[in-house]
Structure 1
Amino acid sequence: MNKIHLKALTLLMALLVVLGSFNVIKAQEVRRPMKINTLERENFEIRYGMGLSTRYMWRGLDLAKSPTLEPYASILFHGFELSAYGVYGLYESAPKHPDFNEPENPGEINPVFLETIAFGEIISNLFYSFQANIGTISIGATDYYFPDRLVRQTETDTNGVKHIKYIKSRWGNWEGGGNGAHIIEAIVRYQGNSSFPAWLLIGYNIYNDPDNSLFTEAGYTFNILNNNFSLFAGGAIGGSAWYQFTIKNGVVQDGMGLTNFGFILNRELILNEGLSLDFSLMDVVNFYQERNTILFKVILRIQ
């Protein structure tokens, strides 16, 4: 069986697992948990599930460069939300090396710099949300960790000469200054109410990003024939290696790069109490990279 057929079979099997899992859960009537009363649900919730996407587009960046599986779990308690998301590429198509660059002549560069891996990322969040007259405001922090990608470290010797080395990404490496395995971002989010279904996001990297990258995004959601149709636009402000907004055609980038522009068409299918499937089609344009991507995503949600 050639590689193309094997990849297609892998993707088909993963889709069948996601779509078929709700039938397995529904059949387990004996193990169905007791109903949670309204007061308990208001004060404490547990949510988890699995997503399958044809591409992992994060703020306009195609990071995995392959279909992905995306498990998640979250706990909500009196306005606080603690959550964790995993993103795992199905193919070995993402760069392992932080200085990955495809040269015109592959013989000009060490093959180690071109090594690829199956993309992996763990995103951990802690947020506090409160209601206002205009909607919901959330304030929190996000930790980004890439377990399989190398970490670039820079050291300066006693003579002032800088030396660069590449090490394994270990979870316990919390160094700053661009030498650690974690990036921490402070985030403020606004989600409008039903009369004004807009949203606004501001994210600022506060730890282990030498550029202290800043990202903003705004969007608005319409309801069309029982579908949610959302328009959005966002981008990096100032030069940022984190958002791949750096140098183009020899010119150092500054100002704002419109790296995430497009629409999302979304619909939820309720299967049972606390069980649903969420379908999304997204069209994203990254004007800085001059790239357009269309993806489809399905999420099994349990709560």
Structure 2
Amino acid sequence: MRPLICLLLLGSLLHVHAAQAQEIHLGADVVSRYVWRGLDFGESMSVQPGLRLTTGPLTIGTWASYAIATPGAYANEHDLYLSLNFGALTIGVTDYHFPTPEGRKFFNFDNNGRGAHYLEPFVQLSGPAQAPFTLFAGLFAYNDPDYSVYLEAQYPFAVNGVQLTAKVAAVGGRSSFYNTGSAALVTLGLSASRTIPITEQFGLPVFVSYILNPNPRVERSYLVFGLTL
């Protein structure tokens, strides 16, 4: 598994370099809490840098989240992802990496919940401009004994110049990863974002998200503030 992933990443990076990437995006979010798919990861403010390169239909990226305060200081995540876009359809795979001081090092690719990496192939369908919904489905196909299935739907809209996004998400069955005993809703959410003008040439994007996880094993709500740099 380790050589396969390394070769995939190396080959993809060489392809992007050879094709001279058409788009490079870099930035970071600072969030009051890192809430991922209805679960608070770290109970701390977090800094979340990201870098992606796109050439034609191919996107290669890396994203991370680093908790600022203890006890969440070890709640770190560093992901790699690759996707192919075919208009309304996007397919790809994400490598979720959770480094810890207790041995979850980068080259620990053990399976069945023992390793530091979780591979999630995914597919995403985007609606037309008249109905700009997004449907997402992902399966933890490696290092998750439950083979957890995650399903999500989003719909963006605007009210008085504020961009809003409604979200609903569910897990398809029993999952230790998502703390579900059976199929369950894990997210009901609404996000609002806008750009605060600072100067004539610069504005600061900010967002607030209300997230409810109605899963009986969690039953928790969150209100998250973030800004994008």
Bin of the TM-score, shorter chain as denominator length: 0.7 to 0.9
Q: Which has the larger radius of gyration?
A: 1
Q: 76, 82, 85: which one pairs with 1:129?
A: 85
1:12-23 mapped onto 2 (5 Å cutoff): none
In 2 relative to 1, CA 269–82 (structure 1 residues): closer, same or farther, beyond 3 Å?
farther
1:66 Cα deviation from its structure 2 partner? 0.6
In 2 relative to 1, CA 286–77 (structure 1 residues): closer, same or farther, beyond 3 Å?
same
- Alignment partner, residue 174 of structure 1: 109
In 2 relative to 1, CA 149–295 (structure 1 residues): closer, same or farther, beyond 3 Å?
farther
- Alignment partner, residue 220 of structure 1: 155
Mapped partners of 1:202, 1:278: distance in 2: 28
- Of Structure 1 and Structure 2, which has the larger fraction of its residues in helix? 1
CA deviation vs aligned residue, 1:61-104 (integer Å, no higher than 9, x gap): 1012110001110000111110101100011223xxxxxxxxxx
Q: 41, 65, 69: which one pairs with 1:87?
A: 65
TM-score of the pair, normalised by structure 1 = 0.64
More displaced, 206-215 or 216-225? 216-225
SS in 2 for 1:207: coil
Mapped partners of 1:88, 1:229: distance in 2: 26
1:193 Cα deviation from its structure 2 partner? 3.0
TM-score of the pair, normalised by structure 2 = 0.84
Q: 143, 149, 166: which one pairs with 1:231?
A: 166
- Alignment partner, residue 24 of structure 2: 46
Q: 182, 206, 209: which one pairs with 1:282?
A: 209
Q: Is it true that 1:241 corresponds to 2:184 in the alignment?
A: no
- Alignment partner, residue 190 of structure 1: 125
Mapped partners of 2:202, 2:151: distance in 1: 32
Mapped partners of 2:91, 2:197: distance in 1: 30
Mapped partners of 2:121, 2:202: distance in 1: 31
- Alignment partner, residue 184 of structure 2: 257
Mapped partners of 2:51, 2:202: distance in 1: 14
Q: Size of the alignment, in residue pairs?
A: 206
SS in 1 for 2:28: strand
In structure 2, runs of 5+ residues without a counterpart are 1-20
- Alignment partner, residue 222 of structure 2: 293
User: Residue type matched to 2:120 in 1?
Assistant: E
Q: 126, 148, 172: which one pairs with 2:100?
A: 148
1:271 Cα deviation from its structure 2 partner? 7.9
- Alignment partner, residue 165 of structure 1: none
Q: 91, 113, 120: which one pairs with 1:139?
A: 91
